[in-house]
Structure 1
Amino acid sequence: MNEIWRDVKYAVRQLVKAPGFTMTAVLTLALGIGANAAIFTLVHAVLMRHLPVPHPEQLVRVGDEDDCCVNGGFPDKNKYSLFSYDLYVHLRDNTPEFEQLAAMQSGVGDGSVIARKQSSSSPAQPGKGEYVSGNYFAVFGVQPAAGRLLQPSDDLANAAPVVVMGYQTWERDFARDPAVVGSTFELNAHPFTVVGVAPEGFYGDRLDVSVAYYMPMAQEPVLHAASPLLHRKGSNWVYLLGRVKPGVELGPLAAKMSGALRQWLGENVEIYKTEDGKVQLGKTTTVLVPGALGIANTQEHYATGLHLLMGIAGLVLLIACANIANLVLVRGLARRAETSIRMALGASRARLIRQILTESVVLAVLGGVAGLAVAYAGARALLALAFDRGGMMPIDAAPSPVVLGFAFGISLVTGVVFGLAPAWITSHGEPAEALRGSGRSTKEGGSLVQKTLVVVQAALSLVLLVGAGLLTRSLSKLEHQDFGLQTEHRVIVHVSPQQAGYTPEQLPGLYPTMYERLKALPGVERVGMSLYTPMEGNNWGEGVTFAGRPPTGPREDTGASWVRGNPDYFDAIGQKVVKGRGITDQDTETSRGVAVVNEAFVRKFFKNGAEPIGAHFGTDGPPSVGDMEIVGVMKDVKYNNPRRPVRPMYMRPLLQKAASNQNPKGEAGSTYIGALVIQTKGSTDGMEAQVRQTLASINSNLTVLRFETFDEQIAGQFTQDRMIARLTLMFGLLALVLAAIGLYGVTAYTVARRTPEIGIRMALGAARGSVVRMVLRDALLQAGIGLAIGIPVSLICVRYVKSQLFEVSGNDVGTLAAAAGALAVAALVAGLIPARRAASTDPVKALRSE
C-alpha cells in the first residue's frame, strides 16, 4: 500500500507539471464518462429502480403487457394482463397463495379528477386520480405520512366516500398542512373526506404516474355515474399486483390462476361473442412476472431508447479512451529517456508498468469526478427532453450512490483500458537505444499503435454519424409527414363536463352555451367540440356490422375507430368532406342516426368500388340493425400512432346514441366531450386566460385540464424520438471532434518526430506542396482505413436502430455519403494544420536541432 500511495503522489506531481496535457485529458474523459453516467442515471431510475416499498422482491404482477386503458372482449393472443373488477375479485378470492392481491386502475391521465377543498373559494384544480382496491397500500406495506391509508372497509359499496392524498400534492398545494387530514374535498363535484396522506417518496405502482388522489374502487360508480366500469364484466380496466407468501413458486401459481381465469370466463361467456368464446376459452391464460418495478409500462416505453443511448454513449467513451491513450503514449515516448534511465538503474518492467497505469487511473478518476458535473447537467437536460410535458417524475438528476459507483467503476476501467497499451510499449523500450538517441530514425515503437487507435476512432465516429443521420432523417419524416390536419392558429383545450358534475341529460343544454360563449370571444373563428382530438394518444373503437350483409366470422377483422364531433370540429382540424356531406346542426339527439366515414373506412369495408353513401351499419347489434347511415366521406387524418397507417374511422354527431349498442351507459358516457378545438383568426396569445374565464363563468367546476396549441400536441408525440435523435447527433458530432483531435495529435506528433527528415527533403529541393501532400496522404490514409472499416460496421449496427426508424432505409446511401463526407472533411482539416506547419519548416533550423 505504501508503494501504491507513492505511485499516486508521483502521478499527481507529473500531472501537475503538465497542465495542458492534464486539462485536455480530464475534459475529454469528463465528456465520455459524464455522458455515460447521465444516461445511466435514467437507465437506473427507469429500468432498474425498485418501488420504494419493503421487500419489493416479493411483489408479483399478474400479466406482462401494457394493455391500457379499457378493453373489451378477448385480448390479443388470449393472454390476460388487464382484467375486469369482478374477474379480479374472483382471482383474489381463489388464490390464497397471495398475502394480498390488489387491483389498480389501468389508465391514469392528466386531469382524471377535479378537486377543490370544500371550504375554499379557489377554483377546482385538475389532478391525477387513481382508483385502487382497499388493500392497495397493504400490498406495498407502506405507512402514511399523515392520517391513515385506505383499508378494505373503505372499498365497500355502502362505505363513506374517503380518499388518500398523494404526498407531492400535499407538499406542493397545501404546504404539508396537517389540517388537510379530516377535511372535505369535492372530487368531481362529490364530497370526499381526506383520511390520510401517502408516504413521502411513494409514487404509486408506476413510474410515470404521480398520483394526486387515491380513491377506493367502490366509489367509481359515484364519480362516473353516466358510464361506470366497476361491475361491467365485459370491460377490462384494472391491473393486478400482489405480494406472494414465502415459498410460493410462480409457475404452479400462474397455472392455477389461468385455470381460475378460464373458469370465470366460462361462467360469464355471455358477455363475449359466444362462438368466439368457445373456440378460444381453452387457450386463454395469464402469466406472473416479478413486480418489484411495479406496473412496468414506462420501462417498456423507454427501454429501447435508453439501451440505444447507453450503447451510443459507450462508443463515445471508447473514442475518448483511444484519444487519451494516444496522448498518454505520446507523453510516454517523450519521457522514454527517463524511463530508460530508471530501467538502467534497476527498475523492473512490472514496476514501470504499474507506475504508468497508476498515472492513467489517477487521470481517469479526475475525469470521472469532473464527469459527475457533466452527468448532473446532462441528466437534467435528458429529463427535460424526455418528460417535457410537465409530468412529475420521481427521478433526481443528482447522481445517486448507484450512479456514483457506476461512475467510479467506469473511471477505473477506463484508466486501465487507455493506459495499458502505452504502459506496455513505453516500458519495453531498450535503454541503450533510448539513451543513444534516435532522432534521425523514422522507426518508432508507438507509431503503429497510435495510427491503429486513430483508425478505430474514425470507424466508431462514422458508426455514430450514420446512426445520428438515420435517426435525424427519421424524425424529420415523422414530424413533417402529411397528417391530414391544419394546425395554424388552433389551440386544444381539454375539459371534462362529467368531472364537473354534469349528467348526460344536462349536456344538450350545456354544449350550445359553451359554443356560443367561446365563439363570441374576440378573434375566435371556429369552436370544435369532440370526444378526443388527433394525436393526443386516444382511441375509441369496436367492431361494426352492416345491414344486408352475411354475419362475419369470429376471426374476421371488423374493427374501426370512431370519434364524436360538432359541425365546427372537422373544419377546425382541417378534415374536409370529399363525398356526400359532413355533420350538420340538423344531426341532433333525436334525428336519424348518421355517420361520416374516412377514406380508410371505405377502402376496408367497400371493396371493388361499392357505394358507401346510404349504407347502414351498427356496432353490437345483429347485422340487420343498421342504426347509422353513412352520409359522407372525409379525407384521412391520423389520430393515434403517427408511425402507423391511418385507421378506418367513422365520425358521429355529439349526442346521437346507437340503438343497437348493448351498452347504453357506455353510449351515454361517450357523449361527454373531452376537448375543444378553437380556431382563431390570428395569434393565439392570451387565449388561455379568456377560455378559463369563460368556462368558469359557466360553472366553477368546468376547469381547463390542459391547454396547448395544436402544434404542441402533435410535437408531444415525438418526445422520445426527438431526444434520441438529438442526443445521437450530439454524440456523433462529439465523436467526430474527438476523432479529428486524435488524428491531429498523431499527425502533429509524426511531423515533429520527422522534422529532421523534412528539413533534409526541403534542403534537397522538395517543394512545400510535396511536403503538404506527403503529410496529408498519411492522415487521409488513416481516415480512409477508418471509413473502409466503419461503413460495413455501420450497416451491421443499423439493425439495432431499425425499430426507431420511420420511412428510412437502414442502408440509406445519402446518409452514408453525408457521414463519410463529414469524416473526410474533419480528417482533411485535422491533417492540413500540421501539414502546413511541416511545409513551413526551415531546413537550417531543422538540421541544427540534431
Structure 2
Amino acid sequence: MNTLFQDVRFALRQMRRSPGFAATAVLILALGITANVVVFAVLQAMILEPLDLPRADRVFTFAPHVSGYPVFSYPEVRDVREGSTVFSAVAAEAMQVFGLEFDGSTEPVWGSEVSGQYFEALGIQPFLGRFITPSDDDHPGASEALVISWNAWKTRFNANPKVIGKVVRIDKHPYTIVGVVPESFRGTQKFLQTDLFVPMANQASFEGVSWLEDRTNKMVFPIARIKDGITREQAQSALDTLAARIARQNPKEEDGLQYKLAPPGLIGDFVRGAASRFLSGIMGLAGIVLLAACANLGGLFAARTADRARELAIRVAIGSTRWRIVRQMLIEAFLTSILGGAAACVLSWSALNGLARWVPPTDYPVHFQVKPHPSLILVAFLISVAASVLFGLMPLRQIIKTDPSEAIKSGGSQGSGRKWALRDVLLAGQIALCCVTVTAAFVSLRGLSRTLTTEMGFQPKNASLTKFDLSQAAYTSESAAHFQQQLQEKLQHLPGVEAVGYASGTPLADTTSIAVYKEETTDFRTSNEAFEPFSYNISPGYLASAGTTLLAGRDVLPTDTEKTPPVAIVNRQFARSLFHTDNAIGRSFKNHAGVSIQIVGMVADGKYFLTSEDPQEAMYLPIRQQPGFNTSVVVRTHPDATGAAAADMAATVRKIVHNLDPGIAIRSSGAWTSQLAFSFFPAQVATVALSLFGAFGLLLSIAGTFGLASYSVSKRMRELSIRRALGAQAKQIVSAALGRMLLLIGAGSALGLALGLAGSGLLSHIVYQASAQDPLVLTAVALTLLLTGIISIIAPVRRALHADPANLLREE
C-alpha cells in the first residue's frame, strides 16, 4: 500500500512538473467524455427511462398498429374502459390550446381535456388540492373543475398557496382551480408541457361541436394502467379479444380495429424508432470522438514514455520491476482521466441545464424533460476509467521491450529510426477517426442545405402568419365565418399587401387528415378507404397568399359555399394515388360520409408533416363549405419587402384583430419563415451536433499531428543539421524529417474517407438526404484534411529548415 501511495504522489509531481501537458490531456479527455455523457443523458431521458410516474411499467397507451400513431375516437377508448377487466383505470386525453383569461388579459395556453380516470391511471398525487375525478366527467356541465400544472402555478399564479378555489375564465367559460399537479409531472409526452386540465365531458363547449359519440373522429390519446397481477401479454390478449368484438358490433366504423399496447412518452412508439436511431447514431459518433481523444492521448503518453526512456531504464537497472513502472503509468493515466471526468461532469451539468431551460421557437409547448441526474457522475467515472486503461496501456510495449543498457547509452535521445512506432499507428488511427467526424459534419451541412432549399409547396418568404382559435372567444360557426371574412376584407386594403387568405391550418404546423374513398365505393368502412390525405380548409386567395402554385383548374371561389356542390383542390400525389394520373381535374371521390367531392384544381406536391417525408397526398377544401374556428391568416407583402416588413405586417394584423375583438387570444404571430424554425429543428440539431464533433475531431487531428511532427523533428535535429551542413536541399530536409508523417496523414485520411463512405447507413439515421458519396462532400472533406495537415506541420517544417547547424552541433 505504501508503494501505491508513493506512485500516486510521484504521478502528482509529474503533473505539476508538466502543467501544460496535464492541462492539455485533461481538456481533451473532458471534451470527449462530455460529448458522451450529454448524448447518453438525452438517450436515457427520452428513450431508456419511462415517464416519471409511480410504477410506470404498468402504464401504457394504445396504438392502432405496431409503431402507429396512438390516436383513437373517444367511444373506442370508452369501450376499453367499460369492456375490459385487465385495467385499473382507462382514460382519454386531447391536447389543444385554450384561451386563459386572467387579470384582464387573454393568453393562449396549452392544455388537455381529460376523462375522469386520467389522474388515477397516472397514479400521481396532487401537489395542492385534488384532481379531476369520474364525477367531474360524468356528463357535459357536470363540473367546471380546473387542474393546473406546477409550472403554471409557479409562473402564472406566483406560487400562491391559496390558489385553490380561484375562478378563471377559459374560452370565456368560468372554471374553478381545484388542484395543482406535482412538479415532476409535465404531461404524458416527454417533449411537451401541459399546463391546464379540464373535464373531457365539457369538450363541446370549447370546440363548438361534440365528437364524444363520433367513432370516425380520432381525437384522443389513450392512457391506461394495467392491474396488479396482470402481465402485459395478458392485457394485450384481452385487448385483441375486445377489439374483435367491437369490430363485429360496429362493422362500418371499426373494421380492422386494433389496440396495441405501447409505452407512453413519445407518442406511443410513433417517434421512438426514429428518435432511437437518431440518438444511437449521435452516440456512435460521440464514441468515435472519445476513441480519437484516447488515440491522441495514447500518442502523447507514448511520446512522453519515449522521452523518459533513460529515466525508466535507470529505475529498472536499480531494481524496480517493470510491473511497478506499468502501474506508475496507469496511475498517471487514471489521475488524468479522473480530472477529465470531473471537468466533464461540470460541463455536462451546464449543458443539460441549458437544454432543460431551452424553449425552441414553435407554437407547440416543447419542453425537453432532460435534467442532470446523479447517475451521470457514475457514467462519467466509468468512461474515465475505461479511457485511462485504453490510453494508459498504449505505451506498455515500449516499457516491456526497453533495454536498460541501450536506453542509458543513448541518453533517451534515440532517433526515430525506420521502425513504425506505436505513436505512428495511433496517429494514423486518430486521423482516420477524425476524418469520419469531419465527413459526418459535411454530410449534415449538405443535408441541412437540401432541407432548407427543398420544395415545400408554399413560399413563406415575404409572408406573415397569424393564428388564433375563435372557439376560445365563444364564437358560433356563423359568427366565426363572418369575422374571418371581415378580417380578410380589412387586410386586403392595407398598403404593401399583395394577397390575403386564411385557412384552418398551414403545412408543417397543423395536421388534419380525412379518409378518402373512390367514387364507386358504397361501403365506407375503414378497410375500404383509399388513403387519408392531409386536409386544409382554405379561403379564396389563400393559395396566392401562401405562394402555392395552381398547376391546373381553378382556385377556391367565394361562391363555393355550403349551398353549392362540394369541390376540392388536390396535389399531384393525391391524383397519382387515387387515379394513377397527374391531372385529375373533373374527377370525383367520396369522404367518409359518402359525400361526392369534385376536383376543380391541381397544385404541386409539398411538405406537410415533416421536411424529410416522402411525397404525401394532400387536399384543400373551401372553408365556406367546411366552416371552422381555427384560423391561420396569411398576408403576403410585395416581393421587394424585407423580413422585417413581414414581421411589421404581423403586428398590424394583430392590431386589427384586437380592434375587431379584444377578447381573441393570438396563439402566434410573426414572419412565416420564423414560425417554421421548428420544422427544421431536427436537421439543425443534427448539423450542430455533427459540426461540433467534426470541429473537435479536427482539433484533435491538428494537435496529434503537430505533436508527433514536432516530436519527430526534435528527435532528429542533430541528423537534420548534419544533412543541411553537407548541402542537402530544403525538399530533402523536409522529406527526411516529415516524409513518414505525410505518409501517415495520407494513410489515415484514406482510411477515414473509406470509413465515412461505409458509414453512410449510420448517417442516414441522423441526417435527411445524407450521402457521404456526394462529390461536394468528398471534395470538402479532402480539402479540409489537406488544410489541416498543412497547418499541423508548418511550424515543425519551419523549425527544421531554419535551425542553425553550427549552434546545434556545438550544443551536441
Contact 1:33 1:317 in 2 (8 A): yes
SS state of the match for residue 684, structure 1? helix
Cα deviation, 1:60-109, whole Å, max 9, x if unaligned, reads 3143x5xxxxxxxxx5679794333222233223433333333333xx35
Cα deviation, 1:661-704, whole Å, max 9, x if unaligned, reads xxxxxxxxx53343111223431344444333322232333111
Q: Which residue of 1 aligns with 2:222?
A: 240
Q: Which residue of 2 aligns with 1:101?
A: 90
Q: Does 1:29 align with 2:14?
A: no
Q: Which residue of 2 aligns with 1:40?
A: 40
Pairwise CA distance, 1:501: 1.2
Contact 1:529 1:673 in 2 (8 A): no
Q: Which residue of 1 aligns with 2:153?
A: 170
Q: Which residue of 1 aligns with 2:7?
A: 7
Q: Which one of 528, 534, 552 corresponds to residue 507 of structure 2?
A: 534
Contact 2:363 2:667 in 1 (8 A): no
Q: Distance in 1 between matches of 2:580 and 2:303?
A: 73
Contact 1:353 1:424 in 2 (8 A): no
Pairwise CA distance, 1:782: 0.2
Q: Does 1:800 align with 2:762?
A: yes
Pairwise CA distance, 1:295: 4.5
Higher mean displacement: 645-654 or 834-843 = 645-654
Q: Distance in 2 between matches of 1:554 and 1:95?
A: 25
1:403 maps to amino acid: L
Q: Distance in 1 between matches of 2:88 and 2:571?
A: 51
Q: Which residue of 2 aligns with 1:198?
A: 181
Change (3 A) 1:792 1:585: same
Contact 1:167 1:200 in 2 (8 A): yes
Pairwise CA distance, 1:770: 0.9
- Within-5 A mapping of 1:98-497: 98-105=87-94, 108-109=95-96, 112-117=97-102, 120-121=103-104, 123-157=105-139, 159-226=142-209, 228-272=210-254, 277=255, 281=256, 285-289=258-262, 295=268, 299-300=272-273, 302-379=275-352, 387-389=360-362, 395=368, 399-426=372-399, 428-437=401-410, 441-442=414-415, 448-497=421-470
Contact 2:416 2:712 in 1 (8 A): no
1:35 maps to amino acid: A
Higher mean displacement: 203-212 or 482-491 = 482-491
Contact 2:467 2:668 in 1 (8 A): yes
1:33 maps to amino acid: I
- State, as a whole percentage, how many aligned pairs show the same letter: 29
> Root-mean-square deviation (CA), in Å?
3.1
State the TM-score, normalizing by the size of structure 2.
Answer: 0.92
1:229 maps to amino acid: W
Q: Distance in 2 between matches of 1:128 and 1:609?
A: 40
Change (3 A) 1:137 1:314: same
Change (3 A) 1:244 1:556: closer
Contact 2:262 2:268 in 1 (8 A): no
1:213 maps to amino acid: L
Q: Distance in 1 between matches of 2:765 and 2:796?
A: 43
2:93 maps to amino acid: M
Q: Which residue of 2 aligns with 1:504?
A: 477
Change (3 A) 1:439 1:163: closer
Pairwise CA distance, 1:794: 1.9
- Structure 2: which 5+ residue stretches go unaligned? none
Higher mean displacement: 596-605 or 209-218 = 596-605
Q: Which residue of 2 aligns with 1:731?
A: 693
Change (3 A) 1:770 1:166: same
Contact 2:651 2:669 in 1 (8 A): no
Q: Distance in 1 between matches of 2:50 and 2:382?
A: 22
Q: Which residue of 2 aligns with 1:83?
A: 72
Q: Which residue of 2 aligns with 1:620?
A: 592
Higher mean displacement: 701-710 or 670-679 = 670-679
Pairwise CA distance, 1:380: 5.7
Q: Distance in 2 between matches of 1:5 and 1:101?
A: 62
Q: Distance in 2 between matches of 1:82 and 1:35?
A: 36
Q: Which residue of 2 aligns with 1:652?
A: 621
Contact 1:87 1:261 in 2 (8 A): no
Change (3 A) 1:468 1:384: farther
Change (3 A) 1:731 1:522: same
Q: Distance in 2 between matches of 1:848 and 1:236?
A: 89
Contact 1:528 1:678 in 2 (8 A): yes
Change (3 A) 1:443 1:211: closer
SS state of the match for residue 178, structure 1? coil
Pairwise CA distance, 1:584: 2.5
Pairwise CA distance, 1:187: 1.6
Change (3 A) 1:606 1:202: closer
- Within-5 A mapping of 1:675-694: 675-681=632-638, 682=641, 683-694=645-656
Cα deviation, 1:420-468, whole Å, max 9, x if unaligned, reads 1125523542222222225674357996100000010111111112222
SS state of the match for residue 116, structure 1? strand
SS state of the match for residue 803, structure 2? coil
SS state of the match for residue 430, structure 2? helix
Cα deviation, 1:284-320, whole Å, max 9, x if unaligned, reads 5433345698956565553332222221111111111
1:759 maps to amino acid: S
Q: Distance in 2 between matches of 1:141 and 1:650?
A: 42
Change (3 A) 1:506 1:556: closer
State the TM-score, normalizing by the size of structure 1.
Answer: 0.88
The count of residues paired between Structure 1 and Structure 2 equals 806
Q: Which residue of 1 aligns with 2:609?
A: 640
Q: Distance in 2 between matches of 1:294 and 1:490?
A: 32
Change (3 A) 1:633 1:552: farther
Q: Distance in 2 between matches of 1:807 and 1:707?
A: 31
Q: Distance in 2 between matches of 1:553 and 1:224?
A: 25
Contact 1:539 1:640 in 2 (8 A): no
- Within-5 A mapping of 1:556-567: 557=530, 559-567=532-540
Pairwise CA distance, 1:525: 4.0
Change (3 A) 1:704 1:801: same
Q: Which residue of 1 aligns with 2:711?
A: 749
Q: Which residue of 2 aligns with 1:574?
A: 547
Pairwise CA distance, 1:604: 4.2
Pairwise CA distance, 1:808: 4.8
Q: Distance in 2 between matches of 1:731 and 1:562?
A: 40
2:27 maps to amino acid: L
Q: Distance in 2 between matches of 1:484 and 1:82?
A: 27
Pairwise CA distance, 1:705: 0.5
Contact 1:39 1:310 in 2 (8 A): yes
2:60 maps to amino acid: R
Higher mean displacement: 305-314 or 435-444 = 435-444
Q: Which one of 831, 838, 843 corresponds to residue 793 of structure 2?
A: 831
Change (3 A) 1:293 1:538: closer
Q: Which one of 772, 778, 798 corresponds to residue 816 of structure 1?
A: 778
Contact 1:114 1:127 in 2 (8 A): yes
Q: Distance in 2 between matches of 1:300 and 1:366?
A: 36
Q: Distance in 2 between matches of 1:631 and 1:603?
A: 16
Change (3 A) 1:410 1:444: farther
Pairwise CA distance, 1:169: 0.8
1:231 maps to amino acid: E
SS state of the match for residue 567, structure 1? coil
Q: Which residue of 2 aligns with 1:660?
A: none
Q: Distance in 2 between matches of 1:135 and 1:609?
A: 49
- Structure 1: which 5+ residue stretches go unaligned? 66-74, 658-669
2:78 maps to amino acid: V
Q: Distance in 1 between matches of 2:526 and 2:174?
A: 48
Contact 1:184 1:194 in 2 (8 A): yes
